[in-house]
Amino acid sequence: MLDFDKFTKYSKPGPRYTSYPTALEFSDAYGYDEYIKKLETQDSSRPISLYFHLPFCRNACYFCGCNVVFTSKEDKMLRYMDYLKRELAILSKHVDMNREVLQMHFGGGTPTFFTAPQLKEIIDEIKSYFKNFADDAEISCEIDPRHIDEAQMKVMSEAGFNRVSFGIQDFNEKVQIAVHRVQPYDITKAAMDLARKYNMISVNTDLIYGLPYQSLETFKETLSLALTLSPDRFAVFNYAHVPWMKKTMRKIDETTLPTPAEKLEIMQYTIDFLTSNGYRMVGMDHFAKPDDELFKAIEKGELHRNFQGYTTKGGADLIGVGLTSIGEGIDSYNQNFKAMHEYEEAIDAGKLPFERGVVLNDDDLIRQYVIMELMSNFKLDIKRFDEKFDVVFKDYFADAIEALKPFVEDDLLTMDENHIECSETGTLLIRNIAMPFDAYMKKHSANQKTFSKTV
């Protein structure tokens, strides 16, 4: 049994590195005109990955860290659909619409708060602009199992959606009540059955560890129940508790949260349990069946981390549509307005609702590579790095190498001339291991209220 108490010293605020630099570095130094120029000069031979943010939910799950608009008003949703369509029309003036679409993802909120006909209308509109979807495009949607019916699944299936992701979080009733998300097993099972009936190629389920009243014992039961659903992928997220940013999280009684040592124990058990039941770990918080294409991508060194998790479609430019959506180009990130009125005002003025972003300099690109390699593959091939960037790793990162020595002493990492590689336990602390390579960490380390805790 590992001494998890020993590792609680690593519990500190840190990014989840869905991007590098992180969204904290996005600013208005990257302006609208520069963004439009970048968009218009993107290499048209590069494929596109599309993200649509459908932000609505009716009731707040207290743990929720997503960008959500809580409403039960139909007219608000119809109005949003109208703005989405107008955003697409503006986008079509700046992007070559014949580019191949490799991926499309509907995220939220809960996209399935839109009815089946509404979803169809949105999809038809998208396809009236983007006409060149790849035959094997990955088309996916996030779904709350409490809000999905057969008509919606049918619409998605007929439109070519081939992946769905269901939020479970935890099956324990006490935990569910404490987080204001009561979701009996049968409801989740019915949603899974629908996904299978409509031949979804891949079904993912989300779990979260670190929620109120969770213990190793309760989480063991949750995992066993989740396993009976046989999803193709599991995402097992570390609860990101940021009550200074998300008001609803203040409803969570912090004294009921598991300790860092308990959380590490839960995650170690999760890894052991899922790997002994036919899954393999992918990156920081994902698991998949061994025949999943993610593993082929790992073998080829092509696994890529982005805002939706891990993907095999690394070489695409990400275009985000809708409130708060993030886009990513070869050397830039951009984000849409977060406030609905600003989002609408931009579109009313005939502009894309771009709010801010960041253009990566050479140092950012170098660090981005290292951090994303570690976050995706838990290792770094130093020779390959040196060749790719024409810099000498051990000189460029002398500080980081020094900062990683405690990890080596704790058997979390091995380092030699050619490789950096995490041990199995080291994978649990991958955010900490990536942090020394982050040039912006020093700026934020004095402020505890930036990122969620790594453990």
Q: Which does 240 bind (CB under 5 to 8 A by kind): ligand SAM, ligand SF4, none?
A: ligand SAM
Q: Which does 60 bind (CB under 5 to 8 A by kind): ligand SF4, ligand SAM, none?
A: ligand SF4
Q: Which does 95 bind (CB under 5 to 8 A by kind): ligand SAM, ligand SF4, none?
A: none
Contact 265, 4 (CB under 8 A): yes
Q: Which does 343 bind (CB under 5 to 8 A by kind): ligand SF4, ligand SAM, none?
A: none
Closer of 57 and 102 to ligand SF4 (Cβ): 57
CA 29 from centre of chain: 25
Site membership for ligand SAM, residue 23 (CB under 6 A):
no
Q: Which stretch binds ligand SAM (CB under 6 A): 62-70, 90-98, 379-387, 392-400?
A: 62-70
Q: Kindly determine how many residues on this chain lie close enough to bind ligand SAM according to the rule CB under 6 A.
A: 17
Of 138, 142, 344, 373, the one binding ligand SAM by CB under 6 A: 142
Closer of 99 and 286 to ligand SAM (Cβ): 286
CA separation, residue 301 to residues 134, 266, 313, 374, 378 (Å): 22, 29, 12, 12, 11
CB 111 → ligand SAM: shortest distance, Å?
Answer: 8
Report the alpha-carbon distance of residue 229 to residue 192 in Å, rounded.
Answer: 7
Q: Which is it for the CA torsion 87, 90, 94, 97, positive or negative? A: positive
Q: Which of residues 162-201 bind ligand SAM (CB under 6 A)?
A: 167, 169
b/e 292-318 (16+ beta carbons within 10 angstroms → b): bebbebbeeeebbbbbbbbbbbbebbb
CB 310 → ligand SF4: shortest distance, Å?
Answer: 20
CA 149 from centre of chain: 25
| Residues forming the site for ligand SF4 (CB under 6 A) | 57, 60-61, 64, 66, 68, 108-110, 144, 167
Q: Which of residues 239-278 bind ligand SAM (CB under 6 A)?
A: 239-240
Site membership for ligand SAM, residue 287 (CB under 6 A):
no
- Which residues fall within 8 angstroms of residue 235, CB to CB, at 6 or more apart? 165, 204, 205, 206, 207, 285, 286, 287, 309
DSSP 423-452: -TGGGGGHHHHHGGG-TTHHHHHT-SSSS-
Query: CA-CA-CA-CA torsion for 116, 122, 128, 134, nearest 10 degrees?
Result: -80
CB 109 → ligand SAM: shortest distance, Å?
Answer: 6
Q: Which of residues 90-119 bind ligand SAM (CB under 6 A)?
A: 107-110
Closer of 222 and 377 to ligand SF4 (Cβ): 222
354-359 and 332-336 as β-strands: parallel, antiparallel, unpaired?
A: antiparallel
CB 167 → ligand SF4: shortest distance, Å?
Answer: 5
Q: Which is it for the CA torsion 149, 145, 17, 230, positive or negative? A: negative
Site membership for ligand SAM, residue 327 (CB under 6 A):
no
Report the alpha-carbon distance of residue 347 to residue 349 in Å, rounded.
Answer: 5
Block residue for tokens 């014949």? 98
Residues that bind ligand SAM (CB under 6 A): 63-66, 107-110, 142, 144, 167, 169, 206, 208, 237, 239-240
